[in-house]
Amino acid sequence: MKEQDSIPTGKVQRATRFVTTGAKIGGNYLKFYTKKIITGDSSREELDENNAEDIYNSLSELKGSALKVAQMLSMDQGLLPGAYTQKFSQAQYNAPPLSYPLVVKTFKQELGSSPESLFSTFGKNAAAAASIGQVHKAVLDGQDYAVKIQYPGVGDSIRSDLKLVKPIAMRMFNLSDADITHYLSEVEERLLEECDYELELKRSIQIAEACAHLENIQFPVYKSELSGRRILTMEWLNGQHLVQFLKNNPSQEIRNKIGQSLWDFYDFQIHELLQVHADPHPGNFLFREDGSMGVIDFGCIKILTPEFYKSYFRLLDVDDQGEPAEYDTLLRELKYLLKEDSTEDAAYFKEKILMMNQLLGLPFRSTSFDFGDPSYFAKIYAISEDLAGDKRLRKANGARGPKDALYINRTYFGLYTLLHNLGAKVEVEMRKATV
């Protein structure tokens, strides 16, 4: 894969790259409509492929929060055309890496020495590259290590990148400046934390120790003395990413075993620790033929307040028919209903929220659940498409829902998607936190 010798870090450089990409997309549409007029061909496949290629190439060069958006979108199967999902999924662990001289420069800045002087051997080619950093394999005293190096400038560009995204999001979701800021502040906070490798080191050790009793899950041992603000060194774990693992056609028993481990891992974090590994994309897990797996990235952690936790999960237990007063109270506590809503609007929004809540909460109301059932995800995509095209919802000004729900919702959707791709059936036990 072609390496990058530099990353655009200045505000003007990055804004220019966004504008240039927009111009390319405009050109692709012009070609599409010209071809349609001349030949009558109305297929959008070529247009989607060209746009996906141009957008991904641009975001890959920018790295950081820009590429992180592509990575997150690739998890939302059914949200985007297949060409985009397929292309953006490369951001999970197969993005264009930085050249080795830049890696050496980062080592000297952070640890005061070149990687060759700190390790017995150090691979010059990246073993994996994602949105925030890339990983190199190294050896020290006979032990294999994974060394994660953060891309230069990604932390400094987060705020300016989100400012570029802000007006687009305002138009797409019909939100005011104050409303969109409400949500982007949460995204900004999580992304800034992902760029703090010293914080990730601390959280990785804490969560690995707390989850050590869980079966079939392995966490790497971290080497603090060879880690810093933009470098993180950990034990190398063996295993395959999900796409490669599934090519080996694992048995249903192994799929279920891994699926159960994933469910238990997230269930324990959320309901016992009140914090969660909030980035469950396939690049953060390594799967093995014996049904075990490794978890290799704790950059994105969402801390849940006791108040939000109680309201969020209580909403899964009640409905408008059985406990209408409590249901209404919870919707207002969580800001799904706003005080300025008319009686008619409130009733309409309650109906839509209940429909989505019942479907997404279905696994929690089961003793076992088959995530491999294609009809379940078909229903989720159908409702999502319905809500996205609902003109009444789009005209309803105001940010709905707590910003705390952004990452917990994404966590569950990412987990559901992983379990669906595995075709796993899991035993579900609804835990209660002691808060």
Mean pLDDT by 10 residues, the chain (435 residues): 62 59 52 52 63 63 58 51 54 68 94 97 90 92 96 79 66 59 80 92 95 96 96 97 94 97 96 92 92 93 94 80 81 90 88 86 90 91 74 68 87 92 89 50
pLDDT at 196: 93
Q: Render pLDDT for 300-321 as a digit per residue (tens, 0 to 9).
A: 899 999 999 999 998 887 765 5
CA distances from 225 to 229, 235, 289 (A): 12, 13, 33
* 323 and 222 housed in the same domain: no
Domain boundary among 213, 237, 261: 237
- Note down the domain range covering 400: 239-435
How far apart (Å, rounded) are the C-alpha atoms in residues 16 and 225?
Answer: 39
* 294 and 410 housed in the same domain: yes
* 180 and 317 housed in the same domain: no
Q: Render pLDDT for 197-232 as a digit per residue (tens, 0 to 9).
A: 999 999 999 999 999 999 999 999 999 999 999 999
252 located within any domain? yes
How far apart (Å, rounded) are the C-alpha atoms in residues 65 and 153?
Answer: 11
Give the ranges where 112-196 is alpha helix by DSSP (H): 115-118, 158-173, 177-194
Note whether 163 and 188 are within 8 A (CB).
Answer: no
1 located within any domain? no
Domain boundary among 192, 216, 250: 192
Domain boundary among 237, 266, 296: 237
pLDDT at 281: 83
* 319 and 402 housed in the same domain: yes
380 located within any domain? yes
* 228 and 348 housed in the same domain: no
The model's pTM: 0.80
Q: How far is CA 380 from the centre of its chain?
A: 18
* 140 and 163 housed in the same domain: no
- The CA-based diameter of the chain, rounded to the nearest angstrom, is 70
pLDDT at 172: 46
Q: Which stretch of DSSP H or E encloses residue 280?
A: none
Note whether 207 and 275 are within 8 A (CB).
Answer: yes
* 383 and 255 housed in the same domain: yes
Nearest to 21 by CA among 46, 49, 56: 56
How far apart (Å, rounded) are the C-alpha atoms in residues 332 and 317?
Answer: 16
86 located within any domain? yes
Our count of domains for the chain comes to 4
Record the tokens describing residue 237, joined without a space.
Answer: 């774990």
